[in-house]
Each structure stands twice: as C-alpha cells, then as structure tokens.
C-alpha cells in the first residue's frame, strides 16, 4: 500500500515533465522534485522526536589532508538516520490510519525506526520477521515497542504474510520507498549540516540501493548553496546506483551475498524519484572496495570512538581509497548514518581490518630443536617492540631436516612501517622466514 500526499502528487507531476536526457538541468527545475519548503516543514515537525546530532571536526583531518567534519547520525536512538524519514512519514498519516496501525516486514534499520517511532506516537506497530532473523534484532525490535511475529524462512515469506495481515486488519503496510514525505524527512540531515558547518565545500553520503538520504539531502544542500559538491559512495561489489544512472532507470543488480555486513546500503529497491534527484543534483558517485570499508570502520573506532557499520563507514572509505583527490585542502562533511553492527560481526570486522592495515601479521620459520632457540626469537621480537598474539610449534609434520621445529608467530605491530622493519630484521637473522600473505 502506497502513502499518498499532496507532496507526492507534486513530485509525480514534476517527474512527468523532466526530460530523460543525461544532461544536467537548472537547479530551479530540479527542486520541483522536492520543494525546500517540504524539507523545512519536516525539520520543524520532527525536531522533538529525533536527535539533532553533532557534526564535529575529526582528528582524521590531518591524516587525509582536509578539514573533515563527521555528522554522527548513528547517535539516533535506533542507531540510524532512517528515524528522520520514518517519523515525518508516520506523523503525516491520517488519524484514522494511525489508530488502526502499521505493519512492516524486514530486519532493516527502516523497520527498527518504524518500531520505535510508531510506539512513541502510540501507533500500533507490527513487525514480521523471518525465522532466520538474528535473535538480537528480534529482541531489540520488541524492546522498541513493536509486536514482533516470526513467520517463514525467507524475507519474501515475511513480506507476503505482512501484506495479508494488512489487508485483513486494515493496517498500513510500509516498506522503504522514495515518497516525497520520506525523502523530505531524510533531507533534514543536509539542512542541519549546512547550519552546523560554515563554508562547506563538499558533503559525502552513502549511496547504493537505498539512496534516499543522498537524494533528499542533496535537494536541501543545493538549494542553500549550489556550489557545495554532493558525493555518493557505494560498494564496488554491487554498483547499483552508477548502473541505474547510466541506464536512466532503476536496474536490478546481482543480490548482495554479504547482506549482514552491508545492511541497508545493499538493497535493490530505491525508486525513480530518488534516482531522478540523484541524477540532477548529485555531482559524483564513486565505488569503493570492501577492504576500504573495513579499514574505515577501524579508523572511526580508533580516532573517533565511533562504532559504525558498513553503511556508516562507506563515506570515509572513499577518502581511505583515495577516490576523491580533488577534496585535498577543502572543508568536507561525511555522514555516519548507521551504527547497527552486531557484536560478533564487529569482532570479525576489526580482526580483518587490522590484518588489511598491516597491523597484525603472521610469519613462520624453521629453528633448530634445541634449548634457547625460541628464547632468541622472542628476544628479537621484544627488541622490535612487537606484541606476540600467538606462537605455535610443529615438530611432527616438518619437511625440513631432522631435529628442527617449525614456528609460526602472529604478532601485533604499530603500522605498516613497523611491520616492514620487523620483516627486514627477521630476514637478516632467518633468511628462510616466510610471511603469510593476507
């Protein structure tokens, strides 16, 4: 069931008169898609229901040669920027529909935001989740105040059941789409950033399947200052937005095999409204590798004490990957839009990122199986000021000469330079030492 409003009729009428050519049109014609007044109205209406999150100068600025400001949307109550669009959407519903209630079917940030904000507005809210959903997500959604129902083994089963319940009981079935109301709520992020950081040169947003935040915020920023560069970042694994912009219509890219890592940014369901806004208002869309996203998660945790997921870190990943050299020396804001990474996955991400960043390394070498040899190796490691995480000895399955032992060490170093120094030192003492490549 779609949500209709006067804003959406304006949006639909505007879309019908937009030329389908790839050339950029004037800003005035672009803003007919979402009026700036709509975003301002959304900001006023939701101000008491969502956090005005800080946009703070980052210690990472020196490392990347620009003034970086981080918009910390992961500090919203549910850990996601989606609360902005959801709250404005729910408060825009007719009162009779608010009394009947709403229903959603997923384990996404959108569903979490609906559960929390609907409960706060005393709107009955039901969330249908498949039996494969993480127990932590189910528990969290219940704590937000929703009635959670487990049904089916796949997300499609849960969606079909939710639609059936909505039809039978008069609930409004909600799914994340690019209605003008929802995009206006998300666009309040751009409005806040413009107020919080004077003289912005560029703003970086997550893109991908759900590009509503990028589209809505671009409408606000370009209205306030057309010279601000608006940049979207998506994953190289599924560059859905770039392909859709090239085709001129939403395209379905291959499904993401790592949904739990990428979260909402891996979705395939953004609509033509967001795509039109993005094509007309966004200056650039770049793609980054998964390795860059992991290192960004590590950088934000170390330098900002900010625990974010892939969607939250993907904007910084564009700087980590060196994809935006034109921003050197500029004033740049990055939206950290989500922080809903499950603990076991966070642990895996940190471990993998440390390896990718050459901070955890492993090597093996063959020593004479005699007293004192292991001690000599440990003395070298101590002099090099590395921390030994693990050390193993293998005697039985050694293919070298008799009475030797193969030693495998995993060590923690300060950085890439420290790792290279350790490697050179060990090779001087043990020429046959072998490094395990990551």
**Model confidence over 172-228: pLDDT tens digits?**
999 888 889 999 999 999 999 999 999 999 999 999 767 899 999 999 999 999 999
Query: Which stretch of 176-180, 312-316, 389-393, 394-398 has the lowest confidence by average pLDDT?
Result: 394-398
> How many angstroms separate the CA atoms of 403 and 380, rounded?
22
358-436 fold = Alpha-Beta Plaits (3.30.70)
Q: Which two tokens stand for residue 71?
A: 């918009």
Q: How many residues comprise the chain?
A: 438
Q: What pLDDT, on a 0 to 100 scale, did the predictor assign at position 256? A: 56
Sign of CA dihedral 393, 396, 398, 400: positive
Backbone angles phi, psi at 430, to 5 degrees: -130, 90
Instruction: Categorize the per-residue pLDDT at 34 as very low, low, confident or very high, splitting at 50, 70 and 90.
Output: confident
Q: Is residue 10's pLDDT more than 60?
A: no
3-state class (DSSP) for residue 187: helix
Write down the H helix ranges in 124-247. Answer: 135-143, 155-169, 180-196, 212-224, 240-247
- pLDDT averaged over every residue in the chain: 88
The residue that leads in pLDDT, 12 or 232, is: 232
The residue that leads in pLDDT, 115 or 14, is: 115
> How many angstroms separate the CA atoms of 295 and 297, rounded?
5
For the stretch 92-121, what's the b/e string if a residue is b when 16 or more beta carbons lie within 10 angstroms of its beta carbon? bbeeebbebbbbbbbbbbbbbbbbbbbbee
Q: Are 224 and 281 in contact (CB under 8 A)?
A: no
Tell me how crowded residue 79 is: count the other CB atoms within 10 A of its CB: 23
Give the rounded percent of residues in the chain with a pLDDT score beyond 70.
88
Q: Which two tokens stand for residue 429?
A: 């003492």
**The residue to which tokens 């007719």 are assigned:** 94
Query: Which stretch of 115-124, 258-267, 389-398, 428-437 has the lowest confidence by average pLDDT?
Result: 258-267
The answer to whether 36-80+180-250+262-353 and 358-436 have equal CATH topology is: no
Q: Are 392 and 378 in contact (CB under 8 A)?
A: no
Q: What pLDDT, on a 0 to 100 scale, did the predictor assign at position 244? A: 85
List for the chain the helix, strand, coil content (%; round to 5). Answer: 50, 15, 35
State pLDDT tens for residues 360-393: 999 999 999 888 999 999 999 999 999 999 999 9
Q: What pLDDT, on a 0 to 100 scale, did the predictor assign at position 190? A: 97
3-state class (DSSP) for residue 24: coil
> How many angstroms separate the CA atoms of 157 and 151, rounded?
7
Average pLDDT value for residue range 6-18: 37
Q: What pLDDT, on a 0 to 100 scale, did the predictor assign at position 262? A: 77
Q: Is residue 356's pLDDT more than 90?
A: yes
Q: Which two tokens stand for residue 332?
A: 């740049």
> How many angstroms separate the CA atoms of 109 and 125, rounded?
15
Give the rounded percent of residues in the chain with a pLDDT score beyond 90.
73
Q: Is residue 133's pLDDT more than 50?
A: yes
Average pLDDT value for residue range 336-355: 93
Q: At what angle do helices 135-143 and 109-120 cross, to 10 degrees?
A: 20
Instruction: State the architecture of 36-80+180-250+262-353 in CATH terms.
Output: 3-Layer(aba) Sandwich (3.40)
Q: Is residue 19's pLDDT more than 60?
A: no
Average pLDDT value for residue range 56-81: 97
Q: What pLDDT, on a 0 to 100 scale, did the predictor assign at position 210? A: 77
Q: What pLDDT, on a 0 to 100 scale, did the predictor assign at position 248? A: 82
Instruction: Categorize the per-residue pLDDT at 14 as very low, low, confident or very high, splitting at 50, 70 and 90.
Output: very low
Q: What pLDDT, on a 0 to 100 scale, did the predictor assign at position 240? A: 85
The residue that leads in pLDDT, 253 or 87, is: 87
* Exposure on the CB side of residue 88, measured as CA atoms within 13 A: 27
Query: Which stretch of 269-273, 312-316, 377-381 has the lowest confidence by average pLDDT?
Result: 269-273
> How many angstroms separate the CA atoms of 339 and 353, rounded?
17
Q: In the 8-state DSSP scheme, what is residue 80?
A: B
Sequence ranges of the domains in the chain: 36-80+180-250+262-353, 90-174, 358-436
In the sheet with 67-72, reading across from the earlier edge strand, the strands are 55-57, 67-72, 331-336, 202-206, 229-235, 284-288
- 144 CB burial (10 A radius; 0-12, 13-18, 19+): buried
Query: Which stretch of 172-176, 252-256, 258-262 has the lowest confidence by average pLDDT?
Result: 252-256
Q: What pLDDT, on a 0 to 100 scale, did the predictor assign at position 6? A: 36
| C-alpha triplet 382, 386, 389: angle, nearest 5° | 105
Q: What pLDDT, on a 0 to 100 scale, did the predictor assign at position 195? A: 97
Average pLDDT value for residue range 116-129: 97
Average pLDDT value for residue range 21-45: 65
| C-alpha triplet 181, 184, 187: angle, nearest 5° | 155
360-368 and 404-412 beta bridge pairing: antiparallel
90-174 fold = Rossmann fold (3.40.50)
Average pLDDT value for residue range 152-175: 94
> How many angstroms separate the CA atoms of 48 and 365, rounded?
62
Q: What pLDDT, on a 0 to 100 scale, did the predictor assign at position 237? A: 86
Task: Note the pTM of the prediction, 2 decimals.
Answer: 0.87
């Amino acid at each position: 069931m779609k949500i209709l409003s006067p804003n959406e009729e304006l949006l639909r009428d505007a879309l019908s008169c937009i030329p389908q050519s790839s050339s950029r049109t004037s800003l005035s014609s672009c803003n007919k898609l979402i009026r700036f007044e709509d975003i301002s109205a959304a900001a006023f209406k939701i101000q008491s229901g969502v956090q005005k999150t800080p946009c703070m100068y980052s210690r990472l600025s020196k490392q990347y040669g620009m003034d970086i400001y981080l918009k910390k949307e992961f500090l919203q109550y549910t850990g996601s920027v989606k609360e902005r669009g959801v709250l404005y959407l729910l408060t825009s519903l007719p009162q009779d529909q608010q009394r009947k209630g709403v229903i959603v079917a997923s384990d996404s940030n959108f569903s979490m935001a609906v559960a929390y904000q609907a409960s706060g507005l005393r709107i009955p809210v039901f969330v249908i989740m498949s039996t494969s959903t993480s127990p932590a997500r189910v528990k969290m959604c219940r704590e937000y105040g929703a009635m959670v129902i487990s049904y089916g083994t796949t997300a499609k089963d849960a969606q079909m059941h939710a639609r059936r319940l909505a039809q039978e009981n008069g609930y409004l079935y909600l799914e994340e789409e690019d209605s003008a109301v929802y995009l206006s709520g998300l666009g309040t992020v751009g409005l806040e950033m413009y107020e919080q950081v004077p003289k912005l040169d560029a703003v970086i947003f997550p893109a991908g399947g759900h590009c509503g935040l990028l589209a809505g915020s671009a409408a606000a920023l370009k209205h306030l200052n057309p010279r601000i560069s608006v940049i979207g970042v998506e994953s190289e694994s599924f560059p859905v937005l770039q392909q859709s912009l090239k085709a001129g219509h939403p395209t379905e890219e291959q499904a993401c095999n790592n949904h739990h890592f990428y979260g909402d940014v891996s979705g395939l369901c953004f609509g033509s409204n967001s795509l039109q806004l993005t094509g007309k208002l966004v200056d650039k869309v770049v793609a980054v590798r998964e390795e860059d996203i992991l290192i960004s998660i590590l950088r934000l945790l170390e330098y900002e004490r900010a625990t974010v997921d892939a969607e939250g870190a993907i904007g910084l990943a564009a700087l980590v990957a060196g994809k935006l050299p034109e921003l050197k020396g500029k004033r740049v804001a990055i939206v950290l839009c989500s922080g809903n990474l499950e603990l076991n996955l966070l642990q895996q991400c940190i471990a993998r990122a440390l390896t990718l960043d050459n901070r955890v390394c492993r090597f093996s070498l063959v020593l004479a199986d005699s007293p004192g040899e292991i001690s000599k190796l440990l003395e070298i490691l101590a002099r090099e000021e590395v921390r030994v995480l693990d050390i193993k000895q293998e005697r039985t399955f050694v293919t070298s000469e008799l009475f030797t032992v193969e030693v495998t060490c995993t060590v923690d170093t300060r950085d890439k330079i420290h790792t290279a120094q350790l490697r050179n030192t060990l090779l001087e003492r043990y020429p046959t030492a072998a490094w395990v490549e990551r």
